[in-house]
Structure 1
Amino acid sequence: MEMHITPTKALSRFIQLLDGVFPSGAFVHSFGLEPHIVLGFVNDKESLKNFLENIIEDQYQKMEFTIVKKVFTLLKEEKLNHLLKEDKKFASMLSYEWAKASKDLGENYLKHIDFDIKTSIVKSYFEKVKNKESYGNELFILSSYAYELGLDEDIFLLLWAKKSLINIASASLKISRIKPSEIQQILFSFDEILEEKIQQSSRKVSNFNPLFEEVIFSHLNLEPKMFTT
């Protein structure tokens, strides 16, 4: 019988790291939720659920899920130079505000987690970031730390995605009439599909998100926001 070892330490660390009140803070792009609410596209439980599902399918499956899996592969193969190139390439695909927030959060996380690192490839990558020889995107830093702690990439993505969806959904509380209990129900419903969506992520990274583009062209004065704590 195959034995399954629960990475208790890794899970404990990431529960702390992914909490929005963590000293390093947390950020998430809304991908146009506020404009969608103002324009009436999101106005109830079902439309909010559809909006969040589209984020998973149009954004996470084609970008974040894909890049994290690539980071884990490069770490396993100990290809540091390729990792540095992907770090820089990922930043170039983000908007200026998004890229800056990702770098700032990545560096802040690194200040707190850069201790007792034993895996040579992770240690080398962290050194490159500290020496300003690599960009240090938040997802690259967190993925590397997850790898260091022996956390499975799918479990890490599940934790990260759920945290991000919670933060995005919370933006609707003050500007819509959707009840908090309904939002909780929506978030619970994603437990059944996130694992499947992670498995079905794209092989190539893409930064085209039709959900984001739609709202930009619909109303140029209503811009998606970046939430930072």
Structure 2
Amino acid sequence: MEMHITPTKALSRFLQLLDGAFPSGAFVHSFGLEPHIVLGFVNDKESLKNFLENIIEDQYQKMEFTVVKKVFALLKKEKLNHILKEDKKFASMLSYQWAKASKDLGENYLKHIDFDIKNKIVKNYFEKVKNKEAYGNELFILSSYAYELGLDADTFLLLWCKKNLINIASTSLKISRIKPSEIQQLLFSFDERIEEKIKNSSKNMSNFNPLFEEVIFSHLNLEPKMFVT
């Protein structure tokens, strides 16, 4: 029988790091949830569920899930130069505000986790970020730390994705009539679905998001927000 070892220290640390209330901070792009609510596209539990599912399918499956898996593969092969190129490429595919937030949060996370790093490739990458020789996107910093602690890419992505869905869904509390208990039930229902979507993520990155485009073209004065703490 195959033996599975749960990296409890890694899980414990990521529960702490991904908690937006902690000073390491957090940011999340809403992908137009507020405009969707204002325009009446999202008005109940079911429409919110569809909105979050579309974020996973149209955004995360084609971009974030893809790049994290690539980072883990490059870390395993110890290809630092390739990681630096992918780091820069990922930033170039984001909007200016989003790329800046990703870099700021990446550097901030690094201040909290850059101690007792054992893995050579992770240590070298972190040094490049500190010396301004690498962009240091949030996902690249966190992926590298997850690799250092022995988390696999799928487990890290599950934690990261669920954290984002919680943050995005919570923005609907003050401007919609969807009950908190309904949102909790909805988020619980996503666990198995997220695992499936991570498994079936795209092999090539794409930054086209229909949710974003739809709401921008529907109402030019309403813009998807990004929340930073």
1:28 aligns with 2:28: yes
Matches within 5 A, 1:214-225: 214-225=214-225
1:140 aligns with 2:140: yes
Q: Distance in 1 between matches of 2:220 and 2:73?
A: 39
TM-score by length of 1: 0.99
Q: Distance in 2 between matches of 1:22 and 1:107?
A: 15
Q: Percent identity?
A: 89
Deviations 1:197-228 (A, max 9, x none): 00000000100001111001110100000011
Q: Distance in 2 between matches of 1:79 and 1:216?
A: 39
Q: Which amino acid aligns with 1:188?
A: F
Q: Distance in 1 between matches of 2:138 and 2:23?
A: 15
What's 1:42 paired with?
Answer: 42
Q: Which amino acid aligns with 1:18?
A: L
RMSD of aligned residue pairs (Cα, Å): 0.5
What's 1:19 paired with?
Answer: 19
Q: Distance in 2 between matches of 1:217 and 1:8?
A: 46
SS of residue in 2 equivalent to 1:62? coil
Shift of 1:180: 0.4
What are the ranges of 5 or more consecutive residues in structure 2 without an aligned counterpart?
none
What are the ranges of 5 or more consecutive residues in structure 1 without an aligned counterpart?
none
Q: Distance in 1 between matches of 2:164 and 2:138?
A: 13
Q: Distance in 1 between matches of 2:29 and 2:38?
A: 17
Q: Distance in 2 between matches of 1:201 and 1:111?
A: 30
TM-score by length of 2: 0.99
SS of residue in 2 equivalent to 1:23? coil
Q: Distance in 1 between matches of 2:104 and 2:198?
A: 26
What's 1:207 paired with?
Answer: 207
Matches within 5 A, 1:47-196: 47-196=47-196
SS of residue in 2 equivalent to 1:28? strand
Shift of 1:152: 1.0
Q: Which amino acid aligns with 1:123?
A: K
